[in-house]
Amino acid sequence: MVCLRTVDAAVRQQVLGLAPAPRQARFSGVAADTLPAAERHHTRQAVAVLRDEQPVGFLALDHADPICRYTVPEPSVALRAFFVDAGVQRQGIATAALRALPAFVTRQHPQAQCVVLTVNFVNPVAVRLYRRAGFVDTGRMHLGGAFGPQHVLVLPL
């Protein structure tokens, strides 16, 4: 079973060892970098993706990320740095984690009306994954990405 849990001392070391496939790391980063960054940022929440209680992925939620402006006037939470570890990809974990996201966000951020993310145009596999999980392409482009323009996707809660 796949679920989401705020990173705590019990899983932190395991999460730090997680990383996506090398070709994906430029889009999401690796937990050795993104977890400490989330912990240093006062509006971010570091979240472990667990399968059968074992960390297999990572994401960060941020209720004040600049991309939240794309959903105004609805309050949102930004999804950042999402990945599943390279060793367990292609097993449905990413889809299951994204399907668990609405309930987790609703519990953790009850003011949020949606989840917003940006995904690079040059990453069509991720775009398909997010759309399958219920995210809707707003038709807007975010131009602040390091690897070119990004789609702005929203998941209503």
pLDDT of residue 145 exceeding 70: no
Token pair 């070119």 is found at 148
Say if pTM beats, i.e. exceeds, 0.85: yes
- Of 118, 46, 128, nearest to 95 by C-alpha is 128
Please provide the size of the chain in residues.
157
49: domain range?
A: 2-156
54-93 CB burial, b ≥16 within 10 A, e <16: ebbbbbbbbbebebbebbeeeebbbbbbbbbbbebbeeeb
Q: Which of 4-13, 48-57, 80-89, 133-142 has the lowest mean pLDDT?
A: 133-142
How many distinct structural domains can be found in the chain? 1
CA distance 72 to 27: 25
CA distance 11 to 29: 19
Token pair 């602040």 is found at 144
Bridge-based pairing of strands 136-142 and 76-84 is: unpaired
Residues 83-97: tens digit of each pLDDT: 999 999 999 999 999
For the chain, the first-to-last Cα distance in angstroms comes to: 22
Structure tokens, 28: 């999401």
CATH number assigned to the domain comprising residue 117? 3.40.630.30
Torsional class of 146: left (φ above 0), alpha (ψ -120 to 50), beta (otherwise): alpha
Residues 21-57: tens digit of each pLDDT: 999 999 999 999 999 999 999 999 999 999 999 999 9
